[in-house]
Every structure is written in structure tokens, then in C-alpha cells.
Amino acid sequence: MPTHDFRSPRLFVDAPLADGATLALDRAQANYLGNVLRLGAGDPVLVFNGRDGEWRADISGRKRPDQLILTAQSRPQDRLPDLHLVFAPLKHARLDYMAQKAVEMGASALQPVITRFTQISRLNAERMRANVIEAAEQCGILSLAAVEDPVPLERYLAARDPQRLLVFCDEAAEVADPAAALADASLSSGIDVLIGPEGGFAEEERAALLRQPRTVRLALGPRILRADTAAVAALAVVQTVLGDWGKP
């Protein structure tokens, strides 16, 4: 396992990163470094942008941090597994949790879908992206998961690549060993993990899902899980059997 620096503060910056580059800090970043972390000129931080790897940088500024000077690359850019979390939007706190944990689990894209029993009609994409960035900053992650616009489930199913594996988590499925079910799946492209709303899927939605090519229907144990818990459990099983938990 590669050695990461978990002691130095990490900061996401939306700018190109290169040796010797100087990056201006916005007001929120300057406040975070100067007033929250009590850092000043000469103190080191780590920065990343999701494209150019992770870089060491020194804080510069007279009265408060106002820019960073890049000194050396600490880690090259990596690539996330082709693993998408597809989910019905939840209320704010639960959605924040789901987005953060999906990033920690290695998801490369977050795709909200609107189902018949979805309780949330509007979704704050900027808030979700902020949760993605915060989780990446705190967990040493270099690549940012994409945040997609919400679409109706029917439209999503009609447009998705049929070569991708669809892992359909269904509370109505017969309880069986989910790892064994995934072990029998053939994987030629990416993986879509679908989590339904708190009220479950409508029967016509379930039928449409089961008609999808290359679908694995999973039950996540004998207990009914909340949607945000189900997302973490499903991603853990998928990463263990088919993802990057069991192999480099």
C-alpha cells in the first residue's frame, strides 16, 4: 500500500498544478488555513486538483495566507475504478452522508435517479460536489467523483451502456450470499450500483430493471437497510468481489 501523508492539511484547488507554480487562495481557503488551522507563511500543505496528482506547497502571505507556492509532486495522479453509484435522492443529512461515503468507497460517479417513490424532488448539486471535495481532501483521494444531474429512472435505463454490469439492490430479492452472486458475474466494462428510495421500487420499475442486460439482483442481508446504509454495504461488497479492494 502506498504511503500517504495524513498529517499535512490537504486542499483541493481548481487550477493547473506544476513545479514552481503560484496559486492564489480564495477567501474561504485563506480563512481555513489561517484562522481554523492557524497556519502562516512557510507552513507546508498538500494540494490536488483531480488531474495533476498531489503536490507539496508552502503558504505565502504577510498578514494571512493569500497564496501557495508549489515545491514538488508528492504523488502522481491515479484513476478511480469505473464504479458508479446510482441512487434515488435523499434528504440533506442522509444525502451528505451517502455522497461522502461513496467517495471514500471509490465511486467515480454519483448519478441521482428519480423513481416513483423518491421523496425528494430537488437536489443541490453544488452541495453534493462540496461533499465530494471534502471527503477527497480528508481521505487522501486524488480523483474526484463526477456529480451528474438527476434523471428519471426510465431515461437513465434507456441511455445506459448495456455492456456495463448493473448491480440492482432489491429489498424484495431472496436473501442469499451477495458475494457469491457477484462472483458469477462477467465483467467486461464498468459497474453501476443501483440503490432505490426509502419506499423501495414500484413493481413496474423492478420489472424494467430485471429486463436490463447483464443485471445482478442483490439482497443485502435479512434486515431492511436505510438507503444510505445500503449504498455503503453494496459498494463494500462490490469492491471486495469485483473492485480494487482485493487486487491492486
Q: pLDDT of 132-174, one tens digit each? A: 999 999 999 999 999 999 999 999 999 999 999 999 998 888 8
Go through the domains of the chain in sequence order and give each one's CATH number. Answer: 10-75 (2.40.240.20), 83-241 (3.40.1280.10)
What is the separation, in whole angstroms, between the first and last Cα of the chain? 9
Cβ proximity of 74 and 44 under 8 Å: no
Give 3's pLDDT tier (boundaries 50, 70, 90): low
Give 5's pLDDT tier (boundaries 50, 70, 90): confident
Q: pLDDT of 24-71, one tens digit each? A: 999 999 999 999 999 999 999 999 999 999 999 999 988 889 999 999
Three-state SS for 130-171 is HHHHHHHHHHCCCCCCEECCCEEHHHHHHHCCCCCEEEEECC
Tell me, yes or no, if the pTM score tops 0.75. yes
Is the pLDDT at 127 greater than 80? The verdict is yes
Q: Ranked by mean pLDDT, which of 120-129, 181-190, 201-210 comes out on top?
A: 201-210
